Amino acid sequence: MTVSLSAWPAPLVETLRGGTVIPAHLLALDAKRRLDRRRQRALCRYYIDAGSGGLAVGVHSTQFAIREAGLYEPVLKLAAEEASAWGKRQLLLIAGLVGKTDQARREAEVAASLGYHAGLLSLAAMRGASEDELIAHCRAVARTIPLVGFYLQPAVGGIALSQGFWRRFAEIEEVVAVKIAPFDRYRTLDVIRGVVAARAEERVTLYTGNDDAIVQDLVAPFTLRRGEETVTIRIKGGLLGQWSVWTRRAVELLARIHQAIESGRIDTELLALGNAITDCNSAFFDTANDFRGCIAGCHEVLRRQGLFAGIWCLDPEEGLSPSQAAEIDRVIRAYPELADDGFVSANLDRWLA
């Protein structure tokens, strides 16, 4: 099992550290809430052809309930097979890891056996644990697979984590990245301050999971003091539920941001685009109803494009909120340039074949 970044192929290290688009893979189900393998493969092919540098599978957007449904390993395996067979380049494969230590380690073993390169470690099940217990948990899982830290927003089950925790987490040698997703600027800064305090900014790559502040996170550098030293650090890419839809446009957006940073010129049009993306995310993630329809909202976007047959979730109680479809209608009308409907339409039959 691979437990060190030094064992990764050089192109994958470059992909991770340079920053890339990593969609949080959704789950295609049929009307009986069973895995729709044909459409799940089509979705994976869509992400690959859209230009994603990696796939995150078994994460919140894939629905944590895949574990109780016996779908964790089948869904991870299917994505790994498509990444190998469909793609013409090697993709970074990240598996969601949840639960207390024994469960998280078992999931890490499954992921590593299927060729996944890292595990995105959720700490939601460790609520009430001390900081020492959290770090011991992370170290135990890191012995099986390299880790991507995950600051999950409390609104969907995450726990508050201090700057001190993130310093100690970043000191773990097998940590390769952190997905910062608290949807909170203060807590976002806690992660960055922790990584800098650990002197890990060259080893641990930062990814945004703040779907409400994607462009802001990616364009603005963070400049901090470390003793007498000034350290500038950037969030390089995104591992995002928002990027599980309209993925082709996400790839174009990240390329544009990287080019702007390289040129040293960030124009106001790019910042305005960030506000438009946040408005779309509000509709897809159902912020008006405390994120209750966040997964079903993304399913609805794919259903309208033909990638999904319906918006079914594993939990029968999970679906669109009463006002959510109208909100999705609104943002699609307001921002047609952010949709990749033409790209999907041109390739859909091929992906479903």
**What pLDDT score was predicted for residue 282?**
98
Q: Is 308 among the domain residues? A: no
Task: Name the one residue in this structure whose structure tokens are 């641990």.
Answer: 204
Task: Name the one residue in this structure whose structure tokens are 């009986």.
Answer: 32
Assess whether pLDDT exceeds 90 at residue 4.
no
**What pLDDT score was predicted for residue 7?**
82
Structurally, the chain folds into a number of domains equal to: 1
| CB of 259 closer than 8 Å to CB of 251 | no
CATH of the domain at 182: 3.20.20.70
Residue 80 domain boundaries = 5-263
Q: Is 274 among the domain residues? A: no
- Give residue 3's pLDDT band: very low, low, confident or very high (50, 70, 90): low
pLDDT tens-place string over residues 165-188: 999 999 999 999 999 999 999 999
pLDDT tens-place string over residues 297-313: 999 999 999 999 999 99
- Give residue 1's pLDDT band: very low, low, confident or very high (50, 70, 90): very low
Dihedral over Cα of 343, 344, 345, 347: its sign: positive
**What pLDDT score was predicted for residue 113?**
97
Helices (H) and strands (E) in the chain, counts: 13, 10
Query: In the chain, which ranges are continuous DSSP H helix?
Result: 10-18, 37-50, 72-85, 101-113, 131-142, 163-170, 185-197, 214-219, 247-263, 268-285, 294-305, 324-334, 341-352
pLDDT tens-place string over residues 104-128: 999 999 999 999 999 999 999 999 9
Assess whether pLDDT exceeds 70 at residue 2.
no
